[in-house]
Chains A and B, each alone.
Chain A
Amino acid sequence: MTDLYRKDEEIKKEQFQELLSDLTRPLNHTSLTFKIWTGFLLLLAAGAGFMYFRQVQQGLGTTNMRDIASWGLYVSNFVFLIAVSLVGSLITAILKLSNVRWATPLTRISEIIAVAALISALLIIVVDMGRPDRLWHIAVFGRLQSPIVWDIITVNTYLVLSLLLLYLPLIPDLARLGSFMSHKPAWQRKMYKILSLGWQGTGDQLKLLEKSVAVLMVIIIPVAFSIHTVTSWLFASTLRPGWDSTIFGPYFVAGAFMVGAAAVIVVMYLIRREYSYKQYLTDHHFDMIGKLLVLTSLVYLYFNLNEYMVPGYKMKSGESAHILGLFKGEFAIMFWLVQTVGLILPIILLVFKPFRKPRPLLIISLIIVVGAFLKRYLIVTPTLLHPFLPVQNYPESFAHYHPTFSELVITSGSFAIMALVVTVFIRFFPIIPICETAHEKGIDQETINNQ
């Protein structure tokens, strides 16, 4: 009854108030699960730190990388993390630019995943170096002709763009936080204040922000494509069985979109559970991103068919040892598991709506993520074990590669650091955009400004 008499404006005001307190809940509430989770991640990171200290002290001998397999778990992990980071551009830029409304609550999740994966990727590639103290040589002696130099440039550029694309849409939210979080310690309020750049939501500011975000969304797409294409060229520009391919660029990008979407689903699910965000991350969102996952998986399946069918049909003498190793040799079990359970089965299941409900989708996504990691391993290592030029007089142990305990600990540590970045971000910043959600709910700028 009373609603009828209340001014429309007041209802909107109340709505926004509710939205604000809902979406800032993660900033105020730390459950036991959250604490255990953070502690667990810190433990993993500390373990990795210790093992890395040991590795620096004793050298790369603590890994099982040798003359023949000189790239192992670390480089596979690097490629995997770069792949995951591409999702930032897929959801925040590609979907947003195509006016896909349901993507709004997922933008910040995908962007922080991108930033976290990039940070972790940059760390793991330093870990792979035998002499990290000579990292600066790349700036002083690096040759522009080398794809490794391109990779360093593009990855860092993409990190800067991702940080900007994470930060810019956050500015209006930060301005709200400054006033809403009065119970927080002074340094935290000060941080919000500085970061919000004196945002008032004036017409000028809005226009500038909108324009900047639009430009960012456009420029980040080619840069995102280029980082994974260049990563693939690290392999494709060398003459080796399994890498000597002209479609490596799109093949990697397609795989990246698939694993990235799966990674976003996992994080989405965890956030929805931990903060009971059923009304912001709805079943509809899961359904839609599930469909996106089928699409990206189908594209990736198509590339896989090309990548393995054609060389497998020709069986060039130099490559056959490598291909047979994958099809029915040393790596056959892993290869077929990755292709069937990690790729074909998810596609078949996801076509049916019940499997795109949050929980089944989570399980399928976890399988896809694990499969994608193993896939990167299958791309990097078996090739190195079958060089074109014959090798001789080397110890038997060089002919195979099995990561050491130290490599495994450091690799899981890199995942822990990635998860930590996401976790800490959720603790200090609204993971679901406040002002954008308000706009979509029809709350006007004035209400937002005056709150």
Chain B
Amino acid sequence: MATLKNIIPILMLFFPVATYSQKDVWTVPPEKAAKVNPLEIKPKNLTVGKNIFSRNCVACHGAKADGQGLIQSASFLTDTFQKQTDGAIFHKMVTGRNKMPPFGSVLKDDEVWSVINYLRVLVNPSVLPPPKDIRIELAASEETHSLTAFLTTADSVRVPLGEVDVHYYIKRDFGLMRFGEISNYTSEKGKVTVSFPDGIIGDDQGNVTVLARIENDFLYKNNESAVVLRWGSLLVTEDAKFNERTLWGSRSKSPVWLLILANGILAGVWGVILYILYNLFRIKKAGKIFIK
């Protein structure tokens, strides 16, 4: 009897929890769940997956993929998640539910599969060899306004490295601006070329800093190379506007009319106050004369 008495409240505790999670289950039709991932777990498509993840998923699922982004979403690190088939995850990503957007129209099938591969590697990094050092050189061509990155091994032999994704950036005041394609793979000669975009504003001499980066790669460590080019248009600052006397200007730039008006009123009122204080002084003096 006593055990029954103990069990009932415990059961009652589980009841709402059970119904809750029941409602929350995201069922995938068996034929969809059975779909097979056509991609192997290879560094190249892992890089694609990681790039997509950091661009499209981090905001909600968090940088650690634990579901703690700007909103509460789902963790990819749990056993329950990882036990699902690739096909099931594919279906969920493509169709979406509630706040999880459907990515079917945004990502190609291969891209979805490569994200799934990346999610698998996240909890099981040992399937990959440790990343190696890489050397990167960046050269600019004045004629074609283009930039070429040259990737080789970091040792003295300098073997050109093909099939490596390079990301290009332009340095701005508050961060980096990406340009080129989302992925720019090197050729067998270890080279990849992108053209410099038009209409970039540089500093007051037209200088811009361009970066080429190896990042999010599973075979190589992060590395970058930078060049400064005079390819930007000149930066024109409107200092003259800032030096005008305006209502939004700084303390020393208040409009003249305001200075005259405000100080005029102040002088007038405080003049009267001073006059009254002076009268008080005269009253005091008049009293003294009377006593004498």
Q: Name A residues whose Cβ lies closer than 8 Å to a Cβ of B.
A: 141-145, 150, 153, 157, 160-161, 164, 168, 171, 197-200, 202, 204-205, 208-209, 211-212, 215-216, 219, 223, 393
- With most chain A CB atoms within 10 A of its CB, the pick from B273, B276, B291 is B276
C-alpha gap A1/B72 in the complex (Å): 99
| Closest residue of A by beta carbon distance from B249 | A145
B175 to chain A minimum Cβ distance, whole angstroms, is 21
List of B residues within 8 angstroms of A208 by Cβ: 279, 282-283, 286
Q: B266 and A205: CB pair below 8 A?
A: no
**With A144-B254, A205-B283: A198-B272 Cβ-Cβ less than 8 Å:** no
Q: Which of these, B70, B251, B280, B290, contacts A144 with CB under 8 Å?
A: B251
List of A residues within 8 angstroms of B23 by Cβ: none
What 4 pairs between A and B have smallest CB-CB spacing? A198-B287, A197-B284, A212-B279, A204-B286
A231 to chain B minimum Cβ distance, whole angstroms, is 16
List of B residues within 8 angstroms of A215 by Cβ: 272, 275-276
Determine the main DSSP class of A at the interface with B.
helix
Q: Which of these, A142, A144, A211, contacts B279 with CB under 8 Å?
A: A211
**With A197-B280, A199-B287: A161-B254 Cβ-Cβ less than 8 Å:** no
List of A residues within 8 angstroms of B70 by Cβ: 393
C-alpha gap A393/B284 in the complex (Å): 67
**With A164-B273, A205-B286: A141-B251 Cβ-Cβ less than 8 Å:** yes
B13 lies within 8 A of chain A by Cβ: no
| Closest residue of A by beta carbon distance from B250 | A143
C-alpha gap A171/B284 in the complex (Å): 11
Q: Which of these, B247, B250, B262, B290, contacts A150 with CB under 8 Å?
A: B262
Q: B269 and A223: CB pair below 8 A?
A: yes
Q: A145 and B258: CB pair below 8 A?
A: yes
C-alpha gap A142/B251 in the complex (Å): 7
B83 lies within 8 A of chain A by Cβ: no
List of B residues within 8 angstroms of A197 by Cβ: 280, 283-284, 287
List of B residues within 8 angstroms of A143 by Cβ: 250-251, 254
C-alpha gap A10/B275 in the complex (Å): 39
Q: B273 and A145: CB pair below 8 A?
A: no
| Pairs A–B under 8 Å by Cβ, sample size 19 | A141-B251, A142-B251, A143-B250, A143-B254, A144-B259, A145-B255, A161-B273, A164-B273, A197-B287, A198-B284, A198-B288, A199-B283, A200-B287, A204-B286, A205-B287, A208-B286, A212-B275, A215-B276, A223-B269
Q: B276 and A216: CB pair below 8 A?
A: yes
B20 lies within 8 A of chain A by Cβ: no
- With most chain A CB atoms within 10 A of its CB, the pick from B70, B259, B279, B288 is B279
Q: B258 and A144: CB pair below 8 A?
A: yes
Interface string of B87-119 (1 = CB under 8 A from A): 000000000000000000000000000000000
List of B residues within 8 angstroms of A157 by Cβ: 266, 269-270, 273
B174 lies within 8 A of chain A by Cβ: no
Interface positions of B from 220 to 258, Cβ below 8 Å from A: 247-251, 254-255, 258
| Closest residue of A by beta carbon distance from B268 | A219
C-alpha gap A155/B14 in the complex (Å): 64
| Closest residue of B by beta carbon distance from A161 | B273
B89 to chain A minimum Cβ distance, whole angstroms, is 28
| Closest residue of B by beta carbon distance from A222 | B269
C-alpha gap A144/B270 in the complex (Å): 17
Q: A212 and B276: CB pair below 8 A?
A: yes
C-alpha gap A142/B252 in the complex (Å): 10
Q: Which of these, A145, A153, A200, A212, contacts B248 with CB under 8 Å?
A: A145
List of B residues within 8 angstroms of A211 by Cβ: 279
B286 to chain A minimum Cβ distance, whole angstroms, is 4
List of A residues within 8 angstroms of B249 by Cβ: 145
Q: A198 and B291: CB pair below 8 A?
A: yes
Q: A145 and B276: CB pair below 8 A?
A: no
C-alpha gap A212/B272 in the complex (Å): 9
C-alpha gap A287/B270 in the complex (Å): 37
Q: B254 and A200: CB pair below 8 A?
A: no
